[in-house]
Amino acid sequence: MPAKVNLQLAVGPPRADGYHDLVTVFHAVSLFDQVTVNPAARDAVTVTGEDADQVPVDQDNLALRAVAALRAAVPDGGTSSPGVQVTMAKRIPVAAGLAGGSADAAAALVACNELWATGLTQQQLCDVGATVGSDVAFALLGGTAVGRGRGEQLTPALVPSTQYHWVLAFADGQLATPEVFTALDRLRGPGGYGRTGSPPQGGSGGMGPPRSGGGLGGVAPPGTTQLDAALMSALRAGDAKLVGSRLSNDLQPAAVSLFPALRKTLAAGLELGALGALVAGSGPTCAFLAANAERALELAVAMSGAGVCRSVARVTGPVPGATVVSA
């Protein structure tokens, strides 16, 4: 049940249903929550670990919602036992832009699918997951994948098995995803939509040294929801330096506007040698791409010394989606 970063996150205008159409390149990284399910009298969840006190344990809990959605999809699923006890050990921080809640939902789906022997295919599980949250289908799939629609329409990226080394900088605080999308709409203003055109440039957030014309948190340009061909070709080439130069996130200026300290965090990582930097999803976690494992270690040490974040973690990507680790 991995966390994710978005190597590209291009956001279109708000839709009638309140969501935004997007084009994104998801990338699963090696920061995992562990979720266990056991038969129980009724559905319940207990949470330990990182930010445990901030995870809801009622029906707002995404893992419990996933359990209910799966039960509804396979009516005989719960016959042997009326409920499940979900236990989660969290390492992915809450409301950090890393889709931790979606990872937990995906894990609960995979676990209950096994427990109930539903026989659903991965695609059917993804369809159930998509009803729980926009990022759940990707948390099931893992790897590197292009997401469209709300993010739930996935195409795995045909890329070589290059391992990328990342440093995640966890912020001292949280951001609520809907607020970040709303801030983006506000920054763009009423005239900011409807243009099509060039792939995202530096102003859409995300930044590597060759694209220094972009801002670390400048006002977002109009939405251009096109897949960044240069990013995809960098991924196909397995070229970390090129990938670093093409990282982009339309939500970044919005996240920085709500959490101005991120500007310093992003700048520090680049100054300390990252190949590229961007806000992870809706933030406030920042992700820095390093040239190799050694550079990642150096960067992690330097970042924690620089005092520009709460803590750091070294992760690699891509990693597989939610998997069963024991029967």
Determine the interface stretch with ligand C5P among 72-80, 129-137, 209-217, 239-247 (rule: CB under 6 A). Answer: 129-137
Tokens of 2: 């991995």
CA distances from 299 to 215, 219, 249, 315 (A): 22, 28, 22, 12
Cα four-point dihedral sign 147, 144, 32, 242: negative
> Smaller CB distance to ligand C5P: residue 243 or 251?
251
Q: Is 6 in the site for ligand C5P (CB under 6 A)?
A: no
The interface with ligand C5P within residues 160-219 (CB under 6 A) comprises 177-178, 181
> Smaller CB distance to ligand C5P: residue 97 or 217?
97
> Smaller CB distance to ligand C5P: residue 254 or 270?
254
CA distance 49 to 55: 10
Looking at 2, 133, 223, 283, which residue binds ligand C5P (CB under 6 A)? 133
Active site residue 135: yes
End-to-end CA distance of the chain: 16
The residue annotated as part of the active site, out of 43, 104, 135, 250, is 135
Q: Is 150 in the site for ligand C5P (CB under 6 A)?
A: yes
CA distance 288 to 294: 14
Smallest gap from residue 101 Cβ to ligand C5P (A): 7
Distance of CA 298 to the CA centre of its chain: 24
Q: Is 12 in the site for ligand C5P (CB under 6 A)?
A: no
| Phi, psi values for residue 67, rounded to 5° | -60, -45
Contacting positions for ligand C5P (CB under 6 A): 18-20, 22, 133-135, 150-151, 177-178, 181
